[in-house]
Amino acid sequence: GRKFNAGRVQRVLEGTLASTLGAAVYSPQGSTLLAQSLAELLRSHAKEVVPPRYKLVCQVVLGQQNQQSLLVASRALWDPESDSFASATFSNSSLFAVATVHGVYFE
């Protein structure tokens, strides 16, 4: 069967983040809804390029661009032969976003 193509999914994530957040301005009140809707949008776009039988988990970290640093890490229990992930970042003068999509093969 076909496998999760992390490079292809990463390109989808990068394009979606850039087109959605290009001129966005950070707002503490609107960031929760923006992160949730962005996660759904990214998951649906990634689903278009991922082979069938993969379950997708999408995580979005969104924050204010204020000359701080951030480290995002994750761990998972999975089969390295079939499961994988893709990650992309975006930033403008107001905000930053880190998006990760995990693809887990479902038998």
pLDDT in tens for each of the 107 residues of the chain? 589 999 999 999 999 999 999 999 999 999 999 999 999 999 999 999 999 999 999 999 999 998 888 888 888 888 999 999 999 999 999 999 999 999 999 98
List b or e across 17-28, with b for residues whose CB sees 16 or more CB atoms inside 10 angstroms.
beebbeebebee
DSSP at 24: -
pTM of the model: 0.90
Pairing of strands 95-105, 54-64: antiparallel
What domains appear along the chain, each with residue ranges and CATH number?
6-105 (3.30.1140.40)
State how far the Cα of 73 lies from the Cα of 70, in Å rounded to an integer.
Answer: 10
